[in-house]
Structure formats: C-alpha cells, structure tokens
Structure 1
Amino acid sequence: MLDFKILVVDDEPSFTEVYKIIFEDKGYETLCASSGEECLEILSSQNFDLVITDLKMGGINGLELLRFIRERKLDCEVMLVTGYGTIESAVNAMKLGAFGYFIKGNDPEVLLKEIDKLVKIKTLQKDNISIRNKLNNFNYLLESNSERFKSILKISEKAAQSNSNILILGESGTGKEVIAKYIHQRSQRKNENFVAVNCQVFSDGVLESELFGHEKGAFTGAIDRRIGRFEEADNGTLFLDEIGELSFNTQVKLLRAIENKTFERIGSNKSISTNIRLVTATNRKLSEEVKLGRFREDLFYRINTITILVPSLRERKEDIPILIDFFLKQMQQDMKKKIEKVENGLIDVLVDYDYPGNIRELKNIIERLVVLSDDGVIRKGDLPDLKLFSKNDQDEQDEMVSLKDVRQNAEAKYIRHVLAKSRGNISEAARMMDISRRQLFNKLVEYDIKQ
C-alpha cells in the first residue's frame, strides 16, 4: 500500500464501505468511523494524512470535526462530503481550512483526483523535510577545528567558482562526497541537480545504462526508455565516486562524453548534448594506475584539472569530538533512544584511536555504542576491539616502515579479523565493514588474503 492513510467518517455504513473499497483499490490505507465521536477517539491514538467526513451527521458533524482538527493542529487534511443542498456550507468550510469538498453522487474519479493532488503535496513536503535534514547534516560535517581541513574547504570554494573538472582523492570513508556536495552548493549550479553515482556498485553493462540511459528494447529487460545520470545532471553537477573502478570500455565512453559534451543512449544513434560539472573521486592513486595501464592517461588528465586531497581522520583528530557529538545526536534521533551520559574516559579512547575506516568507521562505532547502551549511558565496555589498530602495536615495531605499509598492514589485519567473525561469509563481512562485495574482493586480491 501507499504510505498514505485515510479516515472516512459517515453515519451511513453503505457510504463508508464503498469509499473503503475505492480507496484501498488505489493503494491507500483506509479506516472507517461511523460518527464524529468515533472519529475523535481514533484520532487520539492514530495519525492520518486525510479525514474525509460527511458534512451532516448526528452528534458531532463534519464542520465541528474540522474545527477540532484545526484547533489541535493535527497533521492531517480534511475533505467534506456534501449533498447539492449544502454546497455553500462546504465552500464556507474551506475558508476555515478544509482541503476541499466532494458532492455525493458525483463521479468518484473527481474525488480520487483531489486525493492524488494531496498525495503529491504531502510527498513534496516530506521530501523537502528530508532534504533540509540532509542539508543540515551535510553542513554539520563541514564544521572543523582542523587547519588542514579548513584549507581544503577554501580550495573547494575557489574551485567551485570555475567549471573545471575536479578530482577528489582520499582514503575510503574520509567524506569525499561531502566535499563534492560542498563544491556544488558553492557553485553557480547550486539550484540545479547534484547527481551521485558510485561506479563500484554496478557491473560494466549496468553502469553504462546508469550513466547514459537506454532506449526501450535496447537489450533484454529494457522494457521502457531510461533517462541516464548525464541527462539527469544536465546544467548541474555529476559526481562519479570510485572512478578508479571503471572498466577500460566504460572509460572510453566517458572520455568521449566529456570531450564532445554529447552522448547517446544505449540503443540509439541520436546524440544528446550535455552541460554538466564533472566531479570525480577515488581512493586509488590514479597516477600509479595509469603507469600500470589500468586507467587511461587521457581520461586521467581530463578529470583532474583541479585535484583535492581530503585528509584522513587520523590527520584531523581535533575534529573527532565534533563528529562524535554529531553522530550521537543523529543516532539518538534515528533509534528513538536518549543518551544521558558518556562514561568517563570513553571520549579519550575514541580520540586516541587511528580509524583506518575514517569517518565511516567512527559513525559505525557510535551507532554500536547507542544500540548497546542501557539506562541512557554509553560505555567503554561496548566498544569493538580497537586494539587491532592501537598505537602500542605500532610503537612495538623494531623495524621502521612507511606509513602506507602501516595502514595496509592494519587494513589487512582488520579484514582477516572480520572474515573470521563472519566465518568467511563475504557478503556478511562486507556489510560489517560497510563496503560493497566488490570492494572487499578487490582488497582480498590486493592483500593476497585467502578466503
């Protein structure tokens, strides 16, 4: 059923039953009440998007119901059902805040069109609230006490004023998409679409359709025309995350689209012009990938007119308390749990940790602490095994190695640990680490980890 609830109020059961059948056939969750009094009782314990009530009823009538709902500021709309003789009363009721009215005996399609209009309005309102919440979260993630991260924001803001292609580099979980959104928000394209695509989660054929779209019948399963992300992002920003994972074939087609500013949907010879700002990101060192022949040199130079390197969380530890506070508030809201106290010493442990998984790992740790909390207290005893990457382990090393080797050793050690926990289940291990199966397979190959 659609996420839209209707309460029908009428003292004639024949009408309520007919309405219930019509509305449920359209996918609306529908409940009926036989009087104004029953309606008020239901509204005291349940939420509805719409109340459809007869104007004339014994006891509490439709107009009185409308006044009750408006006085108590209930989050639902009211539509009145009336006969020809009381249309004027229904029109007057709209001045008091009714969404509309329906005349008994008219085509039910008229009523359904009004409801459909309300569904679209409600959906738009919910989307706007969601967008505002995401925007607030996005802005919060940009708060920083780190001079290095602040300099990255300044570079991003300057880059946003141009139309140059931007390549964002950084370890997994550092917030590369946050920087991409910041660039879009600060650009002249801010009122247009920001379209994000994670290149790693799609197979080659599916990714091509995702980017460029396809025509009906272009391949098995293409039952309708599909608009690709290039069209969706026209005049706005297209963000391609994990671009280092593109196949050579897709790299060629992407390069052609960037150079010619045109593309074709799969199954079509018609060129479509595109006006996008391209922002890409990867945790790979693309310059090395070029040398190894895994990434096209011409595409590399096309996408990195401006390069931005996002620091790891261990390089901006002064921001950890800010992020802990943010994620605590977010998890409390999402889980409907109240955290009253943080155990002494917990913040120090979290700040001291090096986070090979960066901000994403910190978020997962805070989520775990909130889930396992009792009596509104989060405790050190509920932390995962952070000793896997404790600085003591590194201090005990006799041989001095590069920072890159330390990180890779820690990452490989953690992957083996998670695989052991998941008993070798790749899907479960990937879920526990909040990465895709493909990402995990790549790591297994990179570190020569046997399953």
Structure 2
Amino acid sequence: MPSLKEKTFTILLVEDNGGDVEMFLRTVEDELPRREDEDVELVIAARAEGGLKILQERRIDLVISDVRLPGMSGIELLQRIQAMDRRIPVIMVSWVDTVDIAVEAMRCGAFDYITKPFEKLDLAARIHRAMRISEILYRYEPDRRTEAPPVADFVGVSPAFQNVLAMIEAAAQVHSTALIIGETGTGKELIARAIHERSEQRNGPFQVVDCTTFTEGTADSELFGHVRGAFTGAVADKLGLIEHGVGGTVFLDEIGDLPLALQTKLLRVLEVGEVRAVGSVQSKKVSARFIAATNQELTEKVKRNEFRKDLFFRLNVMAIRVPPLRERTEDIPLIARHFIARYTKEFGKYVDNLHPSAVTELVAYPWPGNVRELRNVIERAVMLCKGDRISRNDVLGLLQFTDPGQGLQEDYLSLPYAKAKEKVLEEFSRRYIKAKLDHHQGNVTHAANEAGLPRSYFHEIMRRYLKDRDEV
C-alpha cells in the first residue's frame, strides 16, 4: 500500500555517543508531533566531517549537533553550516552547562542550545519549534521582506533584543500560531501587536483575550459567544471574543491560566478553525491568526497535567522568548532616554538627559517589573525633576525597596506576613529618608518639609532606620 505521507522532514544528527543517539531516536518516534501528511527522517553522522558531506549531498532541514566531537568541533561545524546555508536551523547540545559555551554557540548562529541529560518532552518541543522555523526560512527569502516601522516602546541594541526583532519579522511572514514567553512587564503584548501590524492581517482587528479574567460559568460564553435562550439572562445572540478577531489577530494573553475545559475547545478552534456558541448546535468557520503569551513555563504545567500537551505543541510553532531587562542591561540607558523624550513632550517640561550617576543606578537595579517598571520610574522622575536632567537622587527615591543584588524580595516572601511587612517597611523608610537627605545635602529641615513631615518625626525616623549616620 503506498504511503500517505507527502512531505519528509530530514533532520541531521551529528553525535558520537550511542546512548544519546538512541535517546534522540526514541524522542522523535514517541514524542515529536507532526502533521498527518508529514514524515520525519533522522540521518546520523558520528563526526562533523561526515555531517558536512551529507549536507553537500542532500537537502537537510534541521541539524542537531553535539558541541564536542572527535576531529572538527560542533562549533566549527555550526560556522560551516552558516556559511553554506543560513536557512538551516542548528541546535547545539552538550553535557557542559556553561554560559560561555552557550553564548558562543548563539553568537555563531545556533538556533537553540540544549544541555544533556535531556527531558524528552522539552527536547521534542525544541525540535518541533526548529522544524516549523525551518519551513518558514525555506519558504520566505530575506529579500522579500519590506522595511517595517519600529516597534513602539521596544528599544535596544543588545543581541538578545535584536534576536526578538528578527523573530517578530519572521513570525509576521506566516499565518502560524506564535507563543511569546517572558516575565511580566517585558512587552509581550507590544510584540504581538508588532507581529499583527506587519502581517497580512494588519487591516483586521487585534482582539485581546485576557485568559486571567475568565470565571467559571461565563468563560464559554465570553470566548465562544452564545445564542439567545442558551441560559438565564441570554436575551440575545452574542459574539464571542474569538469571533471579534475574525479577519485579524486573536491575542491570547496569559494562556497558561486558561482552564483545562476551555483548552480542549480552543484546541479545536486552532485545529479545524471552527467555533460553536453556547446553546447552538451549529459550528461556524472562523479565520484569524492566533498569538499566545505566557509568563509561565508551560512545559512544567504539561508535566503536572495542568496544560494540554497537544495544545502546547499547537501553540509552540513559533516561540519568541523575551529576555528580562536585567539580562540586557546595555539597553537600559536607551530605553530610559526614549521614555524621557516621550514624557517631557507629554508634560511640557524640558528634561534633556540623565546624569551619569543616575544611569549607573538604573543599570545596577534588577528591575523585577522589567520595562513596565522602568517606564513608570522615568515617568515619575520627569514629573518630579526640578532641573534639566534627572539626577541620581531623583532615581533613588523612585526605585523599589531593595538594594541591587540583596535579594530582599526573595527573602521577605519566605517570611510570615507580619515579619515580611516589617522588613519591607524598614527598607522603604531607610531608602526614602536617605534619598530626601541626599537631595538636600543633609539638611534635615528641608528634607522634612519636602516629605511633608514634622521635623521631630522625620528625625525620629532617621534615628530608627539610619543607625549609621554615614549613610546620610
């Protein structure tokens, strides 16, 4: 009987360890999701030289290579592949979990870096993502892309930032689902909007679906709509949020919080493009681009059976990992100046720049709230600034309670409520009083007046929290 498969996706594995080869084979066979018309072939070479020969003889869609190989190293193989055809994604693997090797691999053009031993589910997810990226890179030549406008409030020069911009452009070229992963405040919705504005759906709606707001009993109706008489109070037909995004993009924000029952129904929408309103016996076809975002590790939720494995793979076609601000500190001064320009215009003030000492404080701060927190700090700094540039004291008075690097947040979260509150209040009082005194060169009367406190009470707070007067 002839095979029903129409496409064969070929993966070249360059690995000299037999046990690891077996692990890859089992993962591809047991865990790797694929389309009904898709077959996956795994070609194996024990040395980089053999891998290069295979690359010259046939089309390879994806390369997975160990870093340490007999003869030519995996890094050199990566560089050779980049020189031959940049459209081939390369995943580098190693037993060595060091930042230096990972950074070198990524700088040389690696698509991903995986540390042994492998988690089969995680390995399958990474291979699946690389497969879908490979298809996109082969389908769309770089010179077909047009110059796109900059992403609003998304500023930077770091390699991590440039990688996100490249992923935005790649995601905009196709209709595939995308998953944006990043901490709170990193700009996941901005990225989703940028993809929408660069895509074929740009003239359609951008419908935001906040998955954290659904309550039991109303979730189905909110997402899929309902017909008249479906339940008490349903006096008229109502379109769901997904239908409001037809012809455009549906942005599923914080998808990790979506209840399991809705995950099953959402999967059907993604798979067959149909929705069924509550109370209806008919399904309706919908055409929209879906982009999801999360601040959680969905692979961990899959392991705990809190998130559907098939939905995860369906969403994870194009994964965009947004680095936290603390991992791209070289971008902080640029972002800060971007917001200064915005708020000086908005407030009608003249604030020209940041004092170098203020830049030092901003770069040293860990930014748990990421770009959103930096934006809020700069907005308040511009509002309160009395000169033509923001000073160190202007910044210190607005940062959160922690000294950079002391890890206070992690400390107080492990304490009982009363103790945690006391610790946070103490640190806030110390920083606040110190910042006021610094601003007024140690003049207690002026500092107390600006704080709106009686001088005697201000002095008592000083005595209690600034035990070492050298802090003043």
TM-score by length of 2: 0.52
Q: What's the RMSD between the two structures over aligned residues?
A: 3.3
Would the alpha carbon gap of residues 292 and 312 (structure 1) be closer, same or farther in structure 2, given more than 3 Å must change?
same
Q: 1:142 aligns with which of 142, 154, 162?
A: 154
* Preserved CA contact (<8 Å) 1:313 1:358: yes
- Tell me how far apart the structure 2 counterparts of residues 151 and 385 of structure 1 sit (CA, whole Å): 29
- Tell me how far apart the structure 2 counterparts of residues 230 and 259 of structure 1 sit (CA, whole Å): 14
How far apart are 1:388 and its partner, in Å?
0.9
Give the match's secondary structure for 2:268.
helix
- Tell me how far apart the structure 1 counterparts of residues 237 and 346 of structure 2 sit (CA, whole Å): 37
Cα deviation, 1:118-148, whole Å, max 9, x if unaligned, reads xxxxxxxxxxxxxxxxx98x72423321112
Match for residue 355 of structure 1? Answer: 367
Match for residue 339 of structure 2? Answer: 327
Give the match's secondary structure for 2:383.
helix
* Preserved CA contact (<8 Å) 1:388 1:410: no
Match for residue 250 of structure 2? Answer: 238
How far apart are 1:270 and its partner, in Å?
2.4
Would the alpha carbon gap of residues 341 and 323 (structure 1) be closer, same or farther in structure 2, given more than 3 Å must change?
closer
Identity %: 39
Would the alpha carbon gap of residues 377 and 325 (structure 1) be closer, same or farther in structure 2, given more than 3 Å must change?
closer
* Preserved CA contact (<8 Å) 1:144 1:322: yes
- Tell me how far apart the structure 2 counterparts of residues 416 and 162 of structure 1 sit (CA, whole Å): 49
Would the alpha carbon gap of residues 416 and 306 (structure 1) be closer, same or farther in structure 2, given more than 3 Å must change?
farther
* Preserved CA contact (<8 Å) 1:388 1:413: no
Q: 2:264 aligns with which of 233, 252, 274?
A: 252
User: Which stretch of structure 1 is more off in the superposition, 362-371 or 174-183?
Assistant: 362-371
How far apart are 1:415 and its partner, in Å?
12
- Tell me how far apart the structure 2 counterparts of residues 318 and 162 of structure 1 sit (CA, whole Å): 31
Match for residue 199 of structure 1? Answer: 211
Q: 1:209 aligns with which of 207, 217, 221?
A: 221
Cα deviation, 1:44-86, whole Å, max 9, x if unaligned, reads xxxxxxxxxxxxxxxxxxxxxxxxxxxxxxxxxxxxxxxxxxx
Match for residue 276 of structure 1? Answer: 288
| 2:208 equivalent to 1:178 | no
The residue correspondences of 1:428-447 to structure 2 (distance < 5 A) are: none
- Tell me how far apart the structure 1 counterparts of residues 181 and 213 of structure 2 sit (CA, whole Å): 19
How far apart are 1:267 and its partner, in Å?
2.6
- Tell me how far apart the structure 2 counterparts of residues 372 and 288 of structure 1 sit (CA, whole Å): 44
How far apart are 1:334 and its partner, in Å?
4.1
Amino acid of the structure 2 residue aligned with 1:253? K
Would the alpha carbon gap of residues 145 and 261 (structure 1) be closer, same or farther in structure 2, given more than 3 Å must change?
same
- Tell me how far apart the structure 2 counterparts of residues 357 and 417 of structure 1 sit (CA, whole Å): 24
| 2:404 equivalent to 1:390 | yes
Give the match's secondary structure for 2:239.
coil
How far apart are 1:364 and its partner, in Å?
1.7
How far apart are 1:167 and its partner, in Å?
1.0
Would the alpha carbon gap of residues 219 and 326 (structure 1) be closer, same or farther in structure 2, given more than 3 Å must change?
farther
Q: 1:152 aligns with which of 139, 164, 180?
A: 164
Q: 1:163 aligns with which of 169, 175, 185?
A: 175
Cα deviation, 1:198-243, whole Å, max 9, x if unaligned, reads 2113324444333212233433444443222221211221110100
- Tell me how far apart the structure 1 counterparts of residues 186 and 264 of structure 2 sit (CA, whole Å): 28
Would the alpha carbon gap of residues 264 and 334 (structure 1) be closer, same or farther in structure 2, given more than 3 Å must change?
farther
Match for residue 278 of structure 2? Answer: 266
Match for residue 52 of structure 1? Answer: none
Amino acid of the structure 1 residue aligned with 2:220? E
Which stretches in structure 2 are left out of the alignment for 5+ residues? 1-147, 426-472
* Preserved CA contact (<8 Å) 1:248 1:295: yes
Give the match's secondary structure for 1:157.
helix
- Tell me how far apart the structure 2 counterparts of residues 416 and 141 of structure 1 sit (CA, whole Å): 37
* Preserved CA contact (<8 Å) 1:240 1:279: yes
- Tell me how far apart the structure 1 counterparts of residues 182 and 387 of structure 2 sit (CA, whole Å): 39
Amino acid of the structure 2 residue aligned with 1:357? G
Match for residue 108 of structure 1? Answer: none
Would the alpha carbon gap of residues 160 and 313 (structure 1) be closer, same or farther in structure 2, given more than 3 Å must change?
same
Amino acid of the structure 1 residue aligned with 2:213? V
Give the match's secondary structure for 2:174.
coil
How far apart are 1:150 and its partner, in Å?
0.7
Corresponding pairs, count: 276
Which stretches in structure 1 are left out of the alignment for 5+ residues? 1-134, 395-405, 425-451
* Preserved CA contact (<8 Å) 2:227 2:277: yes
| 2:190 equivalent to 1:189 | no
- Tell me how far apart the structure 2 counterparts of residues 202 and 333 of structure 1 sit (CA, whole Å): 38
How far apart are 1:273 and its partner, in Å?
0.5
